[in-house]
Amino acid sequence: MVDLSVNLNGFKLQNPIMTASGTYGYADEYDDFIDVSKLGAIVTKAISIEPKKGNSGERLFETYGGMINRIGLENLGIEEFISKKLPILKEKNINYVMNLAGSTVEDYIKAAEIAQSAGIKAIEVNVSCPNVKQGCLEFGTNPNSLGHLTSEIRKIYKGFLIIKLTPNVSDIESLAKSAEDNGADCISAINTLKGLGVKVEITPDKKIKKTFVQGGLSGRCIKPVALSMVKRIKAVVNIPIIGIGGIANIEDILEFLTVGADAIQIGTENFCHPDITIKLINELTKIIESLNLESLDELKRKLRDE
C-alpha cells in the first residue's frame, strides 16, 4: 500500500489533495460526485462573523485558461456554519479547514475565539481576497499588519493556523516570513490575481454593449505565478506550504511538490470536473507505485533531490 499521508506540523491529512476555499461549499456539497471523506481535507468558503450577501451585479467572467470572480465573500456567517454545517462534517468524518475572513483585527480575533470554542482544529486566515472593500487584502500586503494580525490570532487560537497569501505583492517573501515569525503553522499560496474581464458586443441595432468584471483571476492561467511564489516562499520559511493555483492534472501536482509544496489545493478545476480530486488521488498513487516508492514523502525527496 502506498502511503499518501501528510503531516503538516501536526495537522494530519490522509493524502495531500485538498480543495480551495470558495470552490467546494462548506461541507458535503460535492457528495453527488465523490466521497468527500476520501480527500485530504476540504477548505470551507470564507466565513465571516456576520452573514454576507457578497457583491451585486455580474460576479463571474470566463476568460482564456481561467475565470474572474467578484463574489465578495458571500457566506452564511460563523454561527450558522457551526450550527448547520459543522454537524455534517463531523457526522460524515470529513477532514476540513475553516477559512476565516474579516474587516478588522477584532473580527478575526472574535472568529478565532469562536473557532477555538467550537473545537475547530484548523483554520485558514484569508488575508488575500481582492473582492472586498475592507479587510483581507489590507492585511495581506503589509508585513507589519500581517504579523500583528497573526500574533493576535495565535494568542487566541491553539489549533492549526494557516495564513493564505496573496500574489498581488512584489515581496511575498517578507509576508511569508512575517506569518511564520508570528506564529503561523503553515502558509497557503496563492489566492487569486487581480484581473479585469472585458466583453464587447455589437447588438443587432448596431449599438455597442460593454461588460466589465474586475475581480480575482483563477484557473490554469495563473499556475506559473503560483509555482514561482511557492518556490520563493520555500526559500525563506521552514513551515509547511500548501500550493494553490491552476492545478488541473497530475503533472501540475508534481510541479508544485518539486518547488516546495507539501500539499495542494484544487480550486477552479472543481467547477469543470467535480470528481477531479479523487482522480488525482488515484493517479498520484499510480505514479508513486511506478517509481517503486512506498510513500509521498519519498516522492517529494526524489522530486527535489534530482
Q: Which residues are identified as catalytic?
A: 129
Task: Round to whole Å and give the CA distance between 207 and 104.
Answer: 45
Q: What share of the chain is helix, strand, coil (3-state, %, to 5)?
A: 35, 25, 40
Q: Is residue 172 within 8 Å of 191, Cβ to Cβ?
A: no
The residue behind cell 447588438 is 203
- Count the residues in the chain: 306
Contacts of 196 (CB under 8 A, 6+ apart): 68, 212, 213, 214
Phi-psi region of 6 (alpha: psi -120 to 50; beta: other; left: phi over 0): beta
Task: Round to whole Å and give the CA distance between 214 and 210.
Answer: 13
Contacts of 216 (CB under 8 A, 6+ apart): 68, 69, 70, 129, 130, 131, 191, 192, 193, 194, 195
* β partners of residue 197: 213
Range list of β-strands (E), the chain: 6-8, 11-13, 17-19, 41-43, 60-63, 66-69, 96-100, 122-126, 160-164, 186-189, 193-202, 208-218, 241-244, 263-266
Q: Is residue 125 within 8 Å of 153, Cβ to Cβ?
A: yes
Q: b/e map of 120-142 (b: 16 or more CB within 10 Å)?
A: bbbbbbbbbbbbbeebbbbbbbb
CB-count burial class (<10 Å; 0-12, 13-18, 19+) for 41: buried
